[in-house]
Copies of this chain bind each other. A is one copy, B any other.
Amino acid sequence: MEDPQCESEARALQAVSDKLRQARLKYEKLKALGASLDMTRGKPGADQLDLSQGLFECLRPEDYKTANGVDCRNYGGLDGIPEIREIFADLLEVPPSQVIAAGNSSLSLMYGAFSELCAKGVSGEKPWLLQNGAKFICPAPGYDRHFAICEHFGIKMETVGLSDSGPDMDAVEALAKDPSVKGMWCVPMFSNPTGCVYSAETVKRLASLNPAAKDFRLFWDDAYFIHQFGPKKIHQGNILKECEACSNPDLALVFASFSKVTFPGASVAAVAASKANLSWVRNRMSKEMVGPDKLNQLRHARFFKNADGVLEHMQKMSKLLKPKFDTVLSSLERNLSGACTWSKPEGGYFISLNTPDGCAKRAIELSKEAGVAVTGAGATFPYGVDPRDRNIRLAPSFPAIGDLKLAVEIFCAACNLAALEKEAGI
């Protein structure tokens, strides 16, 4: 006579085994298509770049002077030209005097500031490298290039969690009491990769932070500041104004760029900060260069005319990007078993997906073997180690929609298979 418990276990195992077989079949079938698709990086698609073709011809040969008469072809003008500073200032809602416009990369501005804090210091404090064991707060999942900068200089990363409203503020406030904690990475709007938008409450709490270290700085990477899909700007509060209101004017350095607005390879970046912080930035820059590429700044100013021009441009951009996100999201909905969860961002460049614990590495590996590359496992965590091995970053922007459909289907098959392998104890 049969044992009913054994029988039910056997049936359950059989069910898993059946599902696993089906999942493997589906995966192998898709793998056989021999795809070669890439969802690794937040790289704009060619259609997005085409929106900025006007940049090639908007600057005429006789048009090389700013309104205040500066010849943009020649040396000088460390702060950038007034025309482009004004556009950034309007978009960031600060006065132009609080903005320096620079070269083609906000990452360079961040690296420059970080490197300077390590090697030179700020607020009369010693360089971080000469203080013992400087640390940095890293909300995670986060941006791998931020973490790489910390690691490069040997600054210890302290991971804090990230919810839909931003970083775990209790953890941040507790860490900031330690004088060796020197700052924090923030991607406040459409965070990379979760797409979360720091709430107005979170922004306020960050602005009123009372860190033990005088040389503590928020690295406010506003990479997606105007990258919402909808027509309405999401209210978040202005970090520089909030910091000022909290008598904390020097707490934040704000970074932004037009990298994902025009041409990532030939764009304009900016830093906004308090007067004291800008003097500090300017002091470094004055040693580092005679001035930024003013012609490219003028080219961008001519192309956009003003901040409204940028916002109109971004609406065209979202008309191209939103369908790609919709494609990915509906395909995830359709193809993924219930074991995974994912973000549904209202802007930015990424979708963040969580597999069951312990499955991300395998899912990424399977996906890659079937011809679909997504961002490497662990990349969204400090030191490249995802403690629960579950987070995967998807970047929908670069592939064409048709490719995207197939890519996500393959990726989902890989995720499902990885989850079932785990369930079956393989």
Contacts and interface: CB of A to CB of B under 8 A. Distances in A.
A44 B107 contact: no
B60 A56 contact: yes
Interface string A395-413: 0000000000000000000
Interface string A262-304: 0111100000000000000000101111111111100000000
Interface residues of A, number: 57
A73 B295 contact: no
Given A149-B287, A153-B120, A287-B152, A293 B264 contact: no
A158 to B, nearest CB: 20
Contacts of A76: 43, 265
A287 B145 contact: yes
Given A107-B290, A265-B77, A265-B293, A61 B72 contact: no
Contacts of A103: 103-104, 293
A196 to B, nearest CB: 23
B56 A292 contact: no
Contacts of A43: 74-76
A127 interface: yes
A191 to B, nearest CB: 19
Contact of A119 (B41, B74, B129, B286): B129
Contacts of A424: none
Contact of A266 (B108, B112, B294): B294
Interface in A284-330: 284, 286-296
B104 A74 contact: no
A332 interface: no
A33 interface: no
Contacts of A264: 73-75, 290
A265 B74 contact: yes
The copy count of this chain in the complex is 2
Interface string A89-119: 0000000000000011101100110011011
A148 B120 CA distance: 14
Interface in A114-164: 115-116, 118-120, 127, 129-130, 145, 148-149, 152-153
Given A52-B73, A56-B61, 5 more contacts: A75-B265, A111-B289, A148-B286, A263-B295, A265-B292
28 contacts: A43-B75, A43-B76, A53-B61, A56-B60, A56-B64, A57-B61, A72-B263, A72-B265, A72-B266, A75-B259, A76-B265, A103-B103, A104-B293, A105-B288, A105-B290, A112-B288, A115-B116, A115-B119, A118-B119, A119-B127, A119-B129, A120-B153, A129-B129, A130-B130, A264-B290, A265-B291, A265-B292, A265-B295
The 8 A-B pairs with the shortest beta carbon distances in the complex, nearest first, are: A266-B295, A119-B119, A56-B61, A73-B263, A111-B288, A75-B264, A265-B294, A105-B289
Interface of A: 41, 43-44, 46, 49, 52-53, 56-57, 59-61, 64, 71-77, 103-105, 107-108, 111-112, 115-116, 118-120, 127, 129-130, 145, 148-149, 152-153, 259, 263-266, 284, 286-296
